[in-house]
Each structure stands twice: as structure tokens, then as C-alpha cells.
Structure 1
Amino acid sequence: MKMMTYSLSAIALAAALSACGVAPMSNAQTGAMAGAVLGGVAGNQVGQGQGKTAATIVGTMVGSAVGGQVGAQQDRYYQQPRQPVPYNRGY
């Protein structure tokens, strides 16, 4: 079961990274995908017995939400206009 989870996570990550070449992804999308993979792996490690599947699903959903929010915050920060730094002439 553990090997299957790692294999599925690797396939999901590879699919996400291969999509990067097609069209540029926003930080929110990248964060959501990375969070989903990491959350699913963490949920699988935490869950026991029959609850392992549920823990994996919940971990995937929570990781995706958190990663998406972090990425969206980065997107907003980088889209803000920047003030040019004045040139210091040394006098």
C-alpha cells in the first residue's frame, strides 16, 4: 500500500510538472498541486487501518487548500506595482 501511494504521488507530481511546459502556471496552481501531493503523503502516514484512505483524502484536500492559499498570496505580492529605488549619487 505504501509503495502504491508513493507511485501515485510521483505520477501526479510528474503530470503537474509536465504541464508546466504547456502553459505557465500561477503560484496558486503550483502550490495547490504540491500541497495536495504532500498532504496526501502525510495523511497516508498518519492514518491507520481502514482510516488510512480517509486520512489520505483529507490530507490531500487540506494540503491543496493550504498550498493554493500560499501560492495565491505570492501571486498577489508579485503583482503589486513597485516603486523605483532612487539613485544615490553620493552627495
Structure 2
Amino acid sequence: MKTVIYSLGTLALAAALTACGTPVNNAQIGSATGAVLGGVAGHQFGKGDGKTAATAVGAALGAVVGGQAGAQQDRYYQQPQPAPYYNNRGY
């Protein structure tokens, strides 16, 4: 259990340091969150070395899925938004 906690902590620290100096976007947040949640979910399966492998696979898949979800949000928020609707009163 300590190994998993250290691994997830190291992963979170690496993600935080990677984003230093640049604004954090939703893809980075989603990737880090997905990695942690995927690692926790993957840790629930297997025994011994299988548990370690499941944790690593879960973290990797979680990072990919979370990153894609965050990137989709980034693309949506970068699109031009329609002009506000006016109710024929000029405001």
C-alpha cells in the first residue's frame, strides 16, 4: 500500500512540476486527476506483482481518458461564443 501511495504522490508531483511556468489547462488537470483515480481503481485488482501492474495500467489509462476529456473542454471553451440575445429593448 505504501508503494502505491508513493507512486501516486510521485506522479502527482511530476504532473505539477511539468506545468510550472505555463498556465494550467483542463487537459493537464484531467490527465493528473485521471491518473490518480485510475491508479486507485487499478489497485483494487490482482495480487502481488499483478496488483502493481494493474495500478500502473489503471493510472496510464486514467491519464489518457482524463486528458482527452479535459482537452475536449479546452476546445469547447476556445470556440467563439454567440452574441448575447437582446430582447428588443436595447439591453
- Shorter chain as denominator, the TM-score bin is 0.7 to 0.9
- 1:1-28: CA deviation from partner (whole Å, max 9, x where unpaired): x123113323432443455552112211
What are the within-5 Å matches in structure 2 for residues 36-51 of structure 1?
A: 36-51=35-50
Comparing 44-53 and 58-67, the one that deviates more: 44-53
Q: How many residues align?
A: 89
2:54 maps to amino acid: A
Q: Does the CA contact (< 8 Å) of 1:6 and 1:41 recur in 2?
A: no
- TM-score, scaled to structure 2: 0.78
Q: Give structure 1 stretches of 5+ with no counterpart.
A: none
Moved over 4 A (4+): 18-21
Distance 2:3 2:49 in 1: 16
- TM-score, scaled to structure 1: 0.78
Q: Give structure 2 stretches of 5+ with no counterpart.
A: none
Task: Evaluate the alpha carbon distance shift between residue 58 and residue 73 of structure 1 in structure 2; reply closer, same or farther with a 3 A threshold.
Answer: same
Distance 2:11 2:41 in 1: 15
Partner of 1:4: 3
